[in-house]
Amino acid sequence: MILNADAKALEWVCATYLSQDTTAMTEIKNEIDQHTDNQNRFGLPSRLIAKTFVFRLIYGGSAYSYAMDNNFKDIGNEDYWQNIIDEFYRKYTGLKDWHDKIFADAKRDLKLTMPTGRTYLYPTEVNSMGKVKYPRTRILNYPVQGLGADLMAIARVSLRNRLKDTEGIKIINTVHDSIMLDFDTSVCYTNSIVETVKQCFEDIPSNYAKLFGKEFNLPMRVDIQLGTNWGNLEDVT
């Protein structure tokens, strides 16, 4: 049996934790679907467009980049997307403040140090006109992606430790925000495996605190799928 465990909204949780945006924190804690809320709030044509918009923006997307994208340009021009960005940041003021802060810090120090101790270096770039450029996309991207990688490493180690004495099961793959297991149902009790995996993800905040001495003040949740192969996985949580 194949089990796929996908950390729920990992990147958004990471961006929210790092920025401590109170609106986003409330949405996560109350399990509000922020993409549907943003679709309705900003008048976007679908939840998928709203979700894509958010993730591009938290990694430094601009109104121009939306207006030039084939998936977005038919929705509105650059002015339209700038208005949506402004509305988004009015909703998530803490995220806007954090973006401004880390960009200013990285320009000043050419590095950022995260709560886990991970440090990112940002050497300046010079364009063909001799103008100094700062890699805004990487400055905003690395902290979120890096924290996500750290949280998934915590989940993997926890899961490995819990399963190390269990026969008939092994971790077969990890991809970004997911962990995949293969287990023998004649040896392993499916419900028990599902519950173990779920607990490993829910324990990420407490394990984070133990490792780094800092509170992770958001819940971690997981979507779990089961199937006999990759092609027929079905949701179980």
pLDDT tier at 165, thresholds 50, 70, 90: confident
Q: What is the average pLDDT score of the chain? A: 91
Residue 113 three-state SS = strand
Residue pLDDT, tens place only, 104-128: 999 899 999 988 998 999 887 777 7
| Across 35-60, average pLDDT | 90
pLDDT of residue 99: 94
Checking phi first, is residue 202 left (phi over 0); if not, alpha (psi -120 to 50) or beta? alpha
Domain ranges of the chain: 22-91
Percent share of the chain, pLDDT over 70: 100
CA atoms of 184 and 25, how far apart (whole Å): 39
In this structure, are residues 12 and 24 in contact, taking their beta carbons and an 8 Å threshold? Answer: yes
pLDDT of residue 213: 93
**pTM of the model as a whole:** 0.91
Residue pLDDT, tens place only, 66-105: 888 888 878 988 999 999 999 999 999 999 999 999 999 9
Residue 171's closest CA among 145, 191, 186, 152? 152
CA atoms of 31 and 109, how far apart (whole Å): 37
pLDDT of residue 132: 72
Residue pLDDT, tens place only, 129-160: 767 777 888 889 899 999 999 999 999 999 99
pLDDT of residue 176: 85
Q: What are the b/e assignments for 2-14, b being 16+ CB within 10 Å?
A: bbbbbbbbbbbbb
Helix (H) or strand (E) holding 5: strand 2-7
| Count of C-beta atoms within a 10 Å radius of residue 155 | 24
Q: What are phi and psi of 229, to 5 degrees?
A: -155, 175
Residue 49 three-state SS = helix
3-state secondary structure 207-231: HHHHHHCCCCCCCCCEEEEEECCHH
Residue 196's closest CA among 211, 209, 183, 213? 183
pLDDT tier at 186, thresholds 50, 70, 90: confident
Residue pLDDT, tens place only, 190-208: 899 999 999 999 999 999 9
